[in-house]
Amino acid sequence: MPERLVVIGGDAAGMSAASQARRRRPDDLEIVALEKGSWTSYSACGIPYLVGGDVASLDDLVARSPQTFRDAFRIDVRLRSEAMAIDLDARTVEVRDHEHDRTYALGFDVLHIATGAHPMRPPLPGIDGADIHGVQTLDDAAHLLDHVTSKQVDIRESRVVIVGGGYIGLEMAEAFVRRGADTTVVTSTAQPLNLFDPDIGELVGDAMRAHGITVRCNERVTTFEETGRRTTLVHTDAGDPPIEADLVVLGMGVGPNAGLARDAGLATGDRGAISTDRRQRTSAEGVYAAGDCCESFDRVTGRRVYVALGTVANKQGRVAGINIGGGYATFPGVIGTAVTKLCALEVARTGVSEREAVEAGFEYVAVTIDSTTRAGYFPGTQPIRVKMLAEKKSGHVIGAQIIGQEGAAKRIDVIATAITAGMTADEMTALDLSYAPPFAPVWDPVLIAARKAAEALADAGQA
Amino acid sequence: MPERLVVIGGDAAGMSAASQARRRRPDDLEIVALEKGSWTSYSACGIPYLVGGDVASLDDLVARSPQTFRDAFRIDVRLRSEAMAIDLDARTVEVRDHEHDRTYALGFDVLHIATGAHPMRPPLPGIDGADIHGVQTLDDAAHLLDHVTSKQVDIRESRVVIVGGGYIGLEMAEAFVRRGADTTVVTSTAQPLNLFDPDIGELVGDAMRAHGITVRCNERVTTFEETGRRTTLVHTDAGDPPIEADLVVLGMGVGPNAGLARDAGLATGDRGAISTDRRQRTSAEGVYAAGDCCESFDRVTGRRVYVALGTVANKQGRVAGINIGGGYATFPGVIGTAVTKLCALEVARTGVSEREAVEAGFEYVAVTIDSTTRAGYFPGTQPIRVKMLAEKKSGHVIGAQIIGQEGAAKRIDVIATAITAGMTADEMTALDLSYAPPFAPVWDPVLIAARKAAEALADAGQA
């Protein structure tokens, strides 16, 4: 009898682990993957582009179908199959087969938990209303897409309210306004994109408003009131009148689906996410976890953090799969990199923001520079602003934010790499970055920011 | 009497040093800058885009005018003023003032040499013909632009021959073919872009040919024969018939303008370029040098190298200026990064190519991956190929080449940063690079290449 690996969750963190394990153990491992929904390995990050019309069909978001995993990887993928409980002593998972309406126990030798995340639904009256949706699964996507393409509803007569001003909320707002909906974002923070500093968030808010989106900041939703006339009244702490919505989208972030693991006795940490070591091993022997249900380690602050991103899920899943397959791999952590495109604005961050720097106890300098994405004289050159933070004592770059037009944001990756390597701002000034007029000014904006940070450090007496 | 700094050369390496020195010594330094041509601080890299029509006017290529330096930096810029000799004992420069047809001696306390480079003109019969031009100065640019916009010559009836298959040669070929000229590139190497590996160079050659450019490889020019009928016959070792040209452009690389320094007794090194230490100090007390007339240090191979690029000139000039101004700065060297755009292809390199790796004595693995610039399902996604080299023993990434369409090439900067930091391929796989569907697949192509390199290292027993 070969050993059996049971994977709970058929998206990135689960299936990348399963396929890595298969590559390393082609013959002596049985692999069963349980997925409670109807899809595997899909890009939830693509949902706003599906709703906005950039992506033609829901199927485009599926990277690998269940059949591909069955045929090419010999993985027994079981759809509509939900893990209800884990018994670590008996080494079994209780599986609810929604398709055939039955429950059975599935034994495992090795278990990999990749149960993902769920949209945050604060306990507000009415939040479970029928017209209130998250943006997390392809089932959510199908509902939202149905709304914008429905023959019964003219989307151009529809009022959409997005609750939350993070990436996903703003991306959804842009998607709906592109479809012609009357779109409002309500956020409790002073600016949208709270993971950025206010000076960047303010520019984003301005761009959203210029694009026709109503952005209401410093405002908390208190109640969702169903009227029975297909309209939800969204009450906020700004008082009357409430905002009328034909559709409400929750973009208030996500939380880990870690209940199953916690109930089984596995250790959890930040925001209740499953704790793992660097090899993605949980507190129980032979049990791994990866992705949106797990904690990560922040390499800049040294803290355990909860980060639900597809890149992290894929990396952690791969690491888990290599280790399950008998290899050795570690996931050293994240540094808070993220990027989004909003109304022609590209916005990216890495490392810590000013608020996070303060929280982590860093003494730092912060500089901001304005430049262009190409040589100033080259056609198609676009504005770019780079903000950079460096620690006073060490000179290390600890964070950066970029905002600009086409060609701006991906430059964050250079700074992410430099932060990971522990480079100082002064060391960054000498980086041999590529230059030709169609690609950059002779001093790349990243280098200009590093120069200014190095000068600020010198002025602060920490040359 | 304040000290006097004399700067020889009014382009990037000279004027960035002069302005840095001024910033640090606002009051006690007289600065004289000698420029033999008529412009300061211009972008020679922009010349192909001027000739091709992307850039409207020659003035667009001038970053800062002489008057700006005079007014804002109190630098005594003397145009059409050529340094003819340096007397280190007398601390004087002999200056030829072409404007007023006179020669005078100019004393200095500190000297900064930034005499730039000249196009290579191998001693071939006829190479000094009137219709044979380099692509180095704005005077060259004016000549070439005159040819494509002349009312006497219909550029669409014109035959242009580019000698040399490096960046500048290929960029010029594209510029001329865009103007409608019958354009031929003759190169002695087996593929164009000899600084890239042949597998990349071949793709570039194919793209050039598909764009209507005749590319003749493995062919050496032997003689330029003037016919007197405004046609130059370009004879090559491929034999008859010769190639008929109305205009010949030399793109055979450049050499350092270091004769003045050498004659004064300064130490020189690779390809005769001026030797400096990390602070851009030459072998003589109080004499600095920077830019295309100087050597650089290659951080990957540990060798002194000659690299004539605007980025390096700017960085070295800044370092020289800080040191001249009484500060402390060093230039740690280059790693061979370069990028170009050719016929919609973006091509970039950093670190060593396979040939350079062999020459430097590295044992290495090389991997190549194909991916896309955005999520595969996202509109506008483009192909990208990444080739990556890693040293077997250490696992360090030592080189990379990228070829692809829009959005591909600038990713080389991430690898350049990783190489500079001494990262291994395995360490690179964990880099927290930015991801969103409009910007990258969930595994950025750089990470896919790093993964494959790490796997190849593991297979080679160097996990």
A98-134 pLDDT tens trace: 999 999 999 999 999 999 999 888 899 999 888 899 8
Written as one string, the DSSP assignment of A124-152 is -TTTT-TTEE-SSSHHHHHHHHHHHH-SS
Taking contacts as CB-CB distances below 8 angstroms, the residues of chain A near B325 are none
| Averaged pLDDT, B449-456 | 97
Comparing CB atoms, the residue among B416, B433, B435 nearest residue A433 is: B416
Comparing CB atoms, the residue among A417, A418, A439 nearest residue B410 is: A439
Taking contacts as CB-CB distances below 8 angstroms, the residues of chain A near B410 are 407, 410-411, 434, 439-440
**Residue A285 to residues A91, A111, A281, B52, B432, Cα–Cα distance (Å):** 11, 9, 8, 66, 28
Q: What mean pLDDT value characterizes chain B?
A: 95
Strands (E), B81-208: 81-87, 92-97, 102-107, 110-113, 117-119, 132-133, 159-163, 182-186
Written as one string, the DSSP assignment of B221-285 is EEEEEE-SSS-EEEEETT-SSPEEESEEEE-S-EEE--HHHHHTT--B-GGGPBP--TT-B-SST
Taking contacts as CB-CB distances below 8 angstroms, the residues of chain A near B333 are 430, 432
- For residue B138, what pLDDT is reported? 85
Query: CA–CA separation, B406 vs B346, rounded Å?
Result: 7
| Averaged pLDDT, B256-267 | 97
- For residue B83, what pLDDT is reported? 98
- For residue B164, what pLDDT is reported? 94
In A, minimum Cα distance to B46 occurs at: A437
Q: Are B384 and B315 in contact (CB under 8 A)?
A: no
Nearest CA to CA, how far is A63 from chain B (Å)?
9
Mutant choice from B323, B413, B446 vs A, greatest count of A C-beta within 10 A:
B413
| Averaged pLDDT, A384-404 | 98
Q: Do A416 and B430 touch (CB under 8 A)?
A: no
Residues of B that are catalytic: 45
In A, minimum Cα distance to B429 occurs at: A315
Query: CA–CA separation, A197 vs B332, rounded Å?
Result: 33
Q: Is pLDDT at A463 greater than 70 in this prediction?
A: no
Tokens of A273: 């996410």
Mutant choice from A59, A417, A451 vs B, greatest count of B C-beta within 10 A:
A417
Mutant choice from A59, A434, A439, A462 vs B, greatest count of B C-beta within 10 A:
A434
Taking contacts as CB-CB distances below 8 angstroms, the residues of chain B near A462 are none
ipTM of predicted assembly, 2 dp: 0.96
Query: CA–CA separation, A142 vs B55, rounded Å?
Result: 48
Q: What mean pLDDT value characterizes chain A?
A: 95
Residue among B445, B447, B399, B441 nearest B426 (CA): B447
Confidence of residue A228 (pLDDT cuts 50, 70, 90): confident
Query: CA–CA separation, B387 vs B378, rounded Å?
Result: 24
Nearest CA to CA, how far is B422 from chain A (Å)?
8
| Averaged pLDDT, A53-58 | 91
In A, minimum Cα distance to B447 occurs at: A315
In A, minimum Cα distance to B439 occurs at: A410
Beta-bridge mates of residue B280 = none
User: What is the torsional sign of CA A18, A20, A23, A28?
Assistant: negative
Among A224-233, A299-308, A339-348, A432-441, name the one with the lowest average pLDDT: A224-233
Q: Do A377 and B429 touch (CB under 8 A)?
A: no
Burial class (CB in 10 A: 0-12, 13-18, 19+), A146: exposed
Q: Do B12 and A439 touch (CB under 8 A)?
A: no
Confidence of residue A41 (pLDDT cuts 50, 70, 90): confident
- For residue A136, what pLDDT is reported? 83
Comparing CB atoms, the residue among B332, B377, B417 nearest residue A46 is: B377
Residue A255: its H or E element: strand A254-256
Nearest CA to CA, how far is A456 from chain B (Å)?
15
**Per-residue pLDDT tens digits for B1-39:** 789 999 999 999 999 999 999 999 999 999 999 999 988
Taking contacts as CB-CB distances below 8 angstroms, the residues of chain A near B310 are 435, 442
Query: CA–CA separation, B343 vs A376, rounded Å?
Result: 21
Instruction: For chain A, count helices (H), then strands (E).
Output: 12, 25
Residue A215: its H or E element: strand A214-216
Q: How many Cα atoms sit within 13 Å of B341 on the Cβ side?
A: 21
One of A45, A217, A293, A294 is an active-site residue; which one?
A: A45
**Per-residue pLDDT tens digits for B315-361:** 999 999 999 999 999 999 999 999 999 988 999 999 999 999 999 99
| Averaged pLDDT, A28-34 | 97
Burial class (CB in 10 A: 0-12, 13-18, 19+), B237: exposed
Q: How many other CB atoms are found less than 10 A from the CB of residue B53?
A: 14
**Per-residue pLDDT tens digits for A423-461:** 999 999 999 999 999 999 999 999 999 999 999 999 998
Q: How many other CB atoms are found less than 10 A from the CB of residue B461?
A: 7
| Averaged pLDDT, A378-402 | 97
- For residue B139, what pLDDT is reported? 84
Confidence of residue B463 (pLDDT cuts 50, 70, 90): very low
Strands (E), A74-137: 75-78, 81-87, 92-97, 102-107, 110-113, 117-119, 132-133
Taking contacts as CB-CB distances below 8 angstroms, the residues of chain B near A52 are none
**Per-residue pLDDT tens digits for B392-420:** 999 999 999 999 999 999 999 999 999 99
Q: Is pLDDT at B462 greater than 60 in this prediction?
A: no
- For residue A204, what pLDDT is reported? 95
Q: Do A55 and B377 touch (CB under 8 A)?
A: yes
| Averaged pLDDT, B426-450 | 97
Residue B216 DSSP class? E
Mutant choice from A279, A337, A413, A452 vs B, greatest count of B C-beta within 10 A:
A413
